[in-house]
């Protein structure tokens, strides 16, 4: 049985909601309006934000960022001059303000309604030996909420957490009734409500998912890190899947999973030459703008150097180019390039070339994809080099490399950006393989570099394995890295078995 006082509190919320119904009725048009959460990546997943006048459940275990999300949502409202309220049963005003400050958020405009038990609670709790907590607290809680809402009239509310309603309820049935009445009261005043719940309480959590108009799931795992998933958004579509997130001194950040089919630009019909005549002859003039070119080979063979050669030529002609390096610093890459006749310092200074260092352990694939998107969409990058896929793979954190790399390259192609992807194979000599991760299908062009042993000397060769849109030279040429730059020699002749790494003079015949 529901205690009389608790039933009275539920009736108070229902009555207050009915009294405010004209405000809720006027909100029928507001339901088409979206409210930003204050987190751009999350708003993108939500297709613009949360629907006004609705309820959103934020669920997840301890420490996943539920309160951080609620603070972002409220502070975003204060930026637009909206009255907002933070209702707490477990976080004091001082703690909430400190949490906001640690996230770089100014919560001075947030009204905190603190129902956290104070220091006198323990001494007074002896009364609960005779009366259930719901009978002692329920009526006062309802009255206090109704009074403060009439004074403040908040347009945004964050409730941390709805477990406080469970404490005011005698059983599961009463909890459902009380929760529904409470949420209905809040939205009937014209407020958009976000409320948190720990998903460890499965029974409570399932009930709340049915009650809420939207459900945002926050998770953390040692392998995948933080993720955000939308499982419900009544009245609107949303971006499916798990999207990576992080929390730092600047707040909660969400990085939407890249969907390349959502982007597109008109293709550009021109070539990107390397500036090395012999190499361009092998490629029938160069690589096509907007194509993905894979530079593959073992360590130290010259993949990065050759990729930089194409990037340098593009920047020299006025095409903004970016190198994302997972393995070298900007200084080392610049020094090494200029040491072999590739002066890129001037291009770095005038902004036509950028070298961006990426620490793979600090970036998820979704986060890196957003970095690339900003470079392309905001700064107009036309040529992008990723050095290398091995370093990029470190950021996978247990996820598969190919789907993420496919999505990123497909996005860049759709945007008309020329992609140079450096891929390292494990074998220095021996059985020939273009890649170790079945990435060949991603590439429009494959340029392979290889070590061979001739007369006891280790030498480099270069060849073209694939060119999707035109013919190419089928012969291999020797490659040298000199103080004057890359030198591509004449086609190798008189040898067989070059791709094995141990070529033999063709005149000896087949053994």
Domains of the chain in start order, with CATH, are 4-256 (3.40.50.300), 261-508 (3.40.50.300)
Q: In the structure encoding, which two tokens stand for residue 118, read together?
A: 């104070």
From first to last of its 511 residues, the chain has per-residue pLDDT tens of 333 333 334 445 555 554 444 333 344 444 468 999 999 999 999 999 999 999 999 998 888 999 999 999 999 999 999 999 998 876 777 888 888 999 999 999 999 988 766 555 444 544 444 334 444 455 566 777 888 888 888 999 999 877 666 656 666 777 778 778 888 888 988 999 999 886 555 555 777 888 899 999 999 988 778 999 999 999 899 999 999 999 999 999 999 999 888 888 877 788 999 999 999 999 999 999 999 999 998 888 999 999 999 999 999 999 999 999 988 888 999 988 888 888 888 889 988 999 999 988 888 889 999 999 999 999 999 999 999 888 888 776 667 788 888 999 999 999 999 999 998 886 665 565 656 657 778 899 999 998 887 777 788 999 999 999 889 998 889 999 988 889 999 887 766 666 665 666 655 544 4
Q: What is the pLDDT of residues 361-381, one digit of tens each?
A: 888 889 999 999 999 999 999
**What would the two tokens of residue 361 be?**
């352990």
What predicted TM-score, i.e. pTM, was given to this entire model?
A: 0.78
Residues, the chain? 511
Half-sphere exposure of 225 (CA within 13 A, CB side): 20
CA distance 235 to 237: 7
Q: What is the CB neighbour count within 10 angstroms for residue 397?
A: 16
Tokens at residue 322, please? 């970016």
What pairing do the DSSP bridges indicate for beta strands 287-288 and 292-297? unpaired
Closest residue by Cα to residue 368 from 336, 332, 399, 337: 399
Q: Are 384 and 419 in contact (CB under 8 A)?
A: yes
What DSSP assignment string belongs to 183-250? HHHHHHTT-EEEEEEETTSHHHHHHHHHH-SEEEEEEEETTTEEEEEEEEETTS----S-EEEEEETT
Residue pLDDT, tens place only, 437-469: 577 788 999 999 988 877 777 889 999 999 998
**5 in Cβ contact with 134 (< 8 Å):** yes
CB burial readout 109-143, b (16+ within 10 A) else e = ebbbbbbeeeeeeeeeeeeeeeeebbbbbbbebbe
Q: How far apart are CA 104 and CA 428, in angstroms?
A: 50
């Amino acid at each position: 049985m529901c205690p009389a006082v608790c039933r009275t509190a539920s009736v108070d919320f229902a009555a207050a909601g009915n009294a405010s119904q004209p405000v809720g009725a006027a909100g029928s048009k507001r339901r088409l309006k979206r409210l930003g959460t204050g987190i751009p990546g999350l708003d993108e997943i939500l297709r613009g934000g949360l629907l006004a006048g609705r309820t959103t459940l934020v669920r997840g275990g301890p420490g996943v960022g539920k309160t951080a999300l609620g603070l972002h949502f409220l502070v975003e409202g204060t930026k637009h001059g909206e009255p907002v309220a933070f209702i707490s049963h477990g976080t004091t005003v001082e703690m909430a303000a400190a949490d906001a400050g640690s996230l770089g958020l100014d919560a001075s405009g947030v009204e905190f309604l603190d129902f956290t038990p104070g220091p006198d609670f323990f001494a007074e709790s002896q009364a609960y030996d005779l009366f259930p907590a719901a009978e002692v607290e329920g009526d006062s809680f309802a009255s206090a909420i109704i009074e403060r809402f009439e004074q403040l009239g908040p347009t945004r509310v964050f409730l941390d957490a709805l477990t406080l309603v469970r404490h005011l309820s005698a059983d599961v049935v009463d909890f459902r009734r009380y929760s529904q009445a409470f949420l209905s009261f809040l939205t009937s005043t014209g407020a958009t409500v976000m409320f948190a719940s720990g998903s460890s309480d499965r029974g409570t959590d399932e009930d709340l998912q049915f009650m809420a108009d939207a459900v945002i799931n926050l998770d953390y795992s040692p392998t995948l890190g933080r993720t955000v998933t939308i499982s419900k958004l009544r009245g609107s579509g949303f971006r499916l899947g798990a999207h990576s997130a992080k929390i730092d001194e600047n707040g909660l950040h969400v990085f939407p999973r890249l969907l390349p089919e959502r982007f597109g630009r008109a293709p550009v019909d021109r070539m990107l030459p390397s500036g090395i005549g012999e190499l361009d002859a092998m490629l029938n003039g160069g690589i096509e703008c907007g194509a993905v070119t894979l530079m593959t080979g073992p360590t130290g063979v010259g993949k990065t150097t050759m990729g930089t050669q194409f990037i340098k030529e593009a920047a020299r002609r006025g095409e903004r180019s970016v190198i994302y390096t997972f393995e070298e610093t900007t200084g080392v890459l610049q020094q090494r390039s200029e040491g072999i006749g590739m002066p890129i310092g001037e291009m770095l200074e005038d902004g036509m070339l950028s070298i961006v260092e990426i620490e793979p352990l600090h970036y998820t694939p979704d986060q890196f994809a957003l970095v690339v998107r900003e470079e392309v969409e905001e700064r107009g990058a036309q040529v992008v080099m990723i050095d290398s896929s091995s370093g990029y793979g470190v950021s996978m954190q247990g996820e598969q490399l190919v789907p993420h790399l496919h999505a990123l390259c497909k996005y860049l192609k759709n945007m008309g950006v020329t992609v140079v992807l450096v891929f390292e194979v494990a074998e220095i000599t021996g059985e020939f393989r273009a890649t170790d991760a079945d990435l060949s299908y991603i590439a429009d062009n494959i340029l392979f570099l290889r070590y061979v042993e001739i007369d006891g000397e280790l030498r480099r060769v270069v060849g073209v394995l694939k060119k999707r849109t035109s013919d190419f030279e089928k012969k291999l040429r020797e490659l040298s890295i000199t103080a004057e730059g890359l030198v591509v020699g004449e086609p190798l002749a008189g040898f067989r078995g070059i791709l094995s790494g141990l070529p033999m003079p063709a005149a000896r015949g087949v053994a």
